[in-house]
């Protein structure tokens, strides 16, 4: 990429509880200034269900002791847990010439590009944001935009215990099946997926990696 390409700081947060990262995202977004560099955070969460701002708790069928946390993204309920790669995008959309829809499309396309390299044909749906393989959901997207800046982002099922998804209507869709990359193609390492996803994510967002 050319030197004129905007740069983004990429951080690997490791394994960290969702409420802690949620608070950090809110603080980062509240305190950022016009010249604050954008960041992308990779993280893996302990088991948790999250419910969007206008989410309906009727879509939580049986939590089975897994915490249910209401957060300020769009969308309904989803599950985060070990073996899932979560990618939070803290971007100044106005500075990058993006809007919420084009950001969603960029995130979807980055995952589709990545899994194509594993021989998996994934698609996106205009009526239900996310990434799908043969009608089963592989990745979910939920965003919040405040003062033209995004946070929250993308969750891709890499090598998970998928059983907790049976306790919800994923993303508010009754009977929606969920899958992961281990099932589809044998990819089971978050580190490998993260390394493969990063260049596609940068390309789709038209960003280069900064320090």
- Residue listed under structure tokens 């985060």: 80
User: Residue 198, Cβ neighbours under 10 Å: how many?
Assistant: 17
Classified as helix, coil or strand, 66 is: coil
Q: Which residues are catalytic?
A: 171
Q: For residues 181 and 133, give the distance between their C-alpha atoms in angstroms, rounded to a whole number.
A: 10
Element (H, E) at 28: helix 18-31
Distances (CA, A) of 174 to 76, 77, 194: 12, 11, 30
- Residue listed under structure tokens 């033209």: 148
CA angle 173, 174, 180 (to 5 degrees): 70
DSSP state of 126: S
Quote the tokens at residue 63.
């939590």
Cβ partners under 8 Å of residue 109, min gap 6: 124, 200, 204
């Amino acid at each position: 990429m050319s030197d004129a390409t905007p740069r983004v700081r990429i951080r690997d947060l490791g394994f960290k509880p969702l409420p802690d990262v949620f608070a950090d995202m809110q603080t980062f977004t509240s305190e950022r200034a016009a010249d604050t560099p954008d960041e992308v955070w990779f993280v893996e969460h302990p088991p948790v269900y999250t419910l969007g701002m206008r989410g309906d708790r009727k879509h939580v069928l049986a939590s089975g002791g897994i915490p249910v946390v209401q957060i300020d993204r769009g969308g309904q309920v989803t599950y985060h847990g070990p073996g899932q790669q979560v990618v939070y995008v803290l971007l100044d959309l106005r500075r990058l010439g993006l809007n919420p829809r084009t950001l969603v499309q960029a995130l979807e396309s980055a995952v589709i590009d990545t899994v194509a390299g594993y021989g998996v044909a994934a698609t996106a749906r205009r009526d239900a944001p996310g990434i799908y393989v043969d009608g089963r959901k592989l990745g979910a997207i939920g965003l919040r935009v405040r003062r033209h800046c995004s946070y929250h982002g993308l969750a891709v099922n890499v090598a998970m215990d998928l059983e907790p998804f049976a306790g919800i209507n994923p993303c508010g869709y009754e009977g929606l099946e969920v899958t992961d990359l281990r099932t589809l193609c044998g990819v089971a390492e978050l580190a490998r997926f993260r390394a493969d996803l990063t260049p596609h994510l940068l390309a789709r967002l038209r960003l280069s990696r900064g320090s």
